[in-house]
Amino acid sequence: MGSREVLGQAARLASSGLLLQVLFRLITFVLNAFILRFLSKEIVGIVNVRLTLLYSTTLFLAREAFRRACLSGAAQRDWSQTLNLLWLTVPLGVFWSLFLGWVWLQLLEVPDPHVVPHYGTGVVMFGFSAVVELLGEPFWVLAQAHMFVKLKVIAESLSVILKSVLTALLVLWLPHWGLYVFSLAQLFYTIVLVLCYVIYFAKILGSPESAKQQTLPVSSMTDLLPSMTKSRAFVNWEEAKLTWSFFKQSFLKQILTEGERYVMTFLNVLNFGDQGVYDIVNNLGSLVARLIFQPIEESFYIFFAKVLEREKDATLQKQEDVAVAAAVLESLLKLALLTGLTITVFGFAYSQLVLDIYGGLSSCSQPLSLQQPCLGTRYNFTMLALSSSFLMLSYVLTRWCGSVGFILANCFNMGIRITQSLRFIYRYYRKSPHRPLAGLSLPPVLLGTFAVSGGITAASEVFLCCEWGWLARLAHIAVGALCLGVTLGTAFLTETKLIHFLRTQLGMPRLADKTT
């Protein structure tokens, strides 16, 4: 498969991922606003911080390294060995679920059962849900490797929507169930997600007509199960070694990704109610960034892994692939920079309004917390230093200035990580004629537009928001919409290369086959 064809598939995957993120975040946004009116902030804090951290940590430690290793390079591979390796995520998930569940129940502070009922059941159910989701890991990796876009969209959309509907109904009818509500909804979500992948593969592998149209390395459902033969090893040991290498990186990455939740959970720097408010504010603050950056990261990781060979200098690789990768990277850097600037400029002026509309949280001294995310992608040792400094900064700054300390620590560490990434990109391409870091330069007229928009919206916030009634708020929104329109229009006229990339790559459904 050529690099440009891989680019097309990765772009389609990113586009579908972007749509999924929009759907998920909107659903979560509405659901959290609904839940806050029926349940206490303490329950929201336990679910969104403590239990979600248990679930995400179990999944991350059990599967992240396997996913990255099994989706990296190697178009020619023995898929039976790869699938065998992926099935090891299940016993690994059982281990992490039991170990972390014990930590959550025995070593961490247990909430008051009168305020947060059924905490123990919640720990068990969230851990069990993680193990259930790992049962679908071989199916997920096979689908990702073959770019089954529609399968991902349908499976994840259906599971999230059904989970949200079930949560809302249970909260409305049985609010006294406490954590039972979220535990049942979480388990239901993982069951639906796994069943979608299993049913899809059972359908296409069970139909002779569909099977003929596929290029899958398996011909029946039994081929997806673990298998042993005397002629070859149970797993590919090169992939296993790569998995271990990724695991060491993943463990540190998890600390950087969920560091503030670990500090809140293990060091008790905030009470459960404040944790709930912080989580909601933090999710709102990073809403737009996650909508764009997460699907791009997940999809284009596959593109770069397939186009470029790992641990091989750019001058020693196929130059056509290097050129395509450099062009794509330049466009992605430009997109990330413009998105970040837009969030920064408009986020400061509208954070207080968003919190006020969302649930009256602006009275909780949280607007600064929502404004701070607008400021804020031999490596193992660097990540170790970053992880350690992040945890220390989070603890110290939180003791000093409350929940805002988490955001300040995140900004500091993201700055270091960005610097490290830019250094790596420069060193990788310095001996080649390509300069993808050019994507970080912006024309003066666009920078001026951002500056003027920032000044206008800041003045609008002072004079129109948020103590002068709804008419003034609507005027403030109209000012922001006008400034945003002018800014985006200027970007459209000046960044023609990026616009061409977005048009030709992130919107190319013509290449999709009938089944994906």
Q: Is 168 helix (H, G, I), strand (E, B) or coil?
A: helix
Lookup: tokens for 367: 């607007």
Q: How far apart are CA 3 and CA 308, in angstroms?
A: 9
Q: How far is CA 208 from the centre of its chain?
A: 37
Amino acid 2: pLDDT:
57
Can you tell me the distance from the alpha carbon of 332 to that of 38, in angstroms, rounded to the nearest whole number? 42
Contact yes or no for 185/163 (Cβ under 8 A) = yes
The dihedral over CA atoms of 361, 364, 367, 370, expressed in degrees to the nearest 10, equals: -70
pLDDT score, position 367: 46
pLDDT tens sequence across 147-161:
787 788 788 888 888
* Of 436, 212, 216, the residue nearest 325 (C-alpha): 436
The answer, yes or no, to whether residue 381 has pLDDT greater than 60, is no
How far apart (Å, rounded) are the C-alpha atoms in residues 132 and 384? Answer: 31
Helices (H), 71-177: 79-87, 89-102, 119-134, 137-145, 149-173
Give dist(CA 305, CA 100) in Å, integer.
32
- Which amino acid is it at 308? L
Instruction: Tell me how far apart the alpha carbons of residues 37 and 355 are, in angstroms, rounded to a whole number.
Output: 15
pLDDT digits (tens, 9 = 90+) for 179-223: 999 999 999 999 999 999 999 999 888 776 655 556 788 888 888
- Write down the pLDDT at residue 63: 92
Largest CA distance in the chain: 77
Q: Which of 113-117, 185-189, 433-437 has the highest mean pLDDT?
A: 185-189
- What is the reported pLDDT for 366? 46
Tokens at 280, concatenated: 């909601």
Chain-centre distance for alpha carbon 122: 23
Residue in the structure block whose two tokens are 């999709």: 512
In 3D, which of 36, 47, 38 has the Cα closest to residue 117?
47
Contact 374, 285 (CB under 8 A): yes
pLDDT reported for residue 145: 82
- How far is Cα 325 from Cα 273, in angstroms, rounded to an integer? 46
Distance CA 6, CA 257 (A): 28
Q: Given CA atoms 308, 309, 310, 315 in this order, what sign does their dihedral have?
A: negative
Identify the residue whose tokens are 């061409």. Answer: 500
Contact 471, 363 (CB under 8 A): no
Higher-pLDDT residue of 360 and 488 is: 488
Rounded CA-CA distance 498/500 in Å is 5
More confidently predicted of 473 and 278: 473
Burial of residue 474 (CB within 10 Å: 0-12, 13-18, 19+) is: exposed
HSE-CB for 422 with a 13 A CA cutoff: 12
pLDDT attached to residue 489 = 94
% residues pLDDT > 70 (the chain): 72
Mean of the pLDDT values across residues 123-138?
96
- Measure the CA–CA gap between 187 and 120, rounded to whole angstroms: 15
So what's the pLDDT on residue 180?
Answer: 92
The rounded distance, in Å, linking the Cα atoms of 257 and 80 is 32
Rounded CA separation 477/457 (Å): 9
Q: Render pLDDT for 12-52 as a digit per residue (tens, 0 to 9).
A: 666 665 666 666 666 766 776 677 677 777 888 888 889 99
Number of H helices, E strands in the chain: 20, 0
Residue in the structure block whose two tokens are 């720990």: 123
Return the higher-pLDDT residue of 58 and 42.
Answer: 58
Instruction: Say yes or no to pLDDT of 446 above 80.
Output: yes
The span from the CA of 51 to the CA of 44, in Å, is 10
Does the structure show a pLDDT above 90 at 126? yes
Residue 35 tokens, joined:
């839940």
Reduced 3-state DSSP string for 362-427: HHHCCHHHHHHHHCCCCCHHHHHHHHHHHHHHHHHHHHHHCCHHHHHHHHHHHHHHHHHHHHHHHH
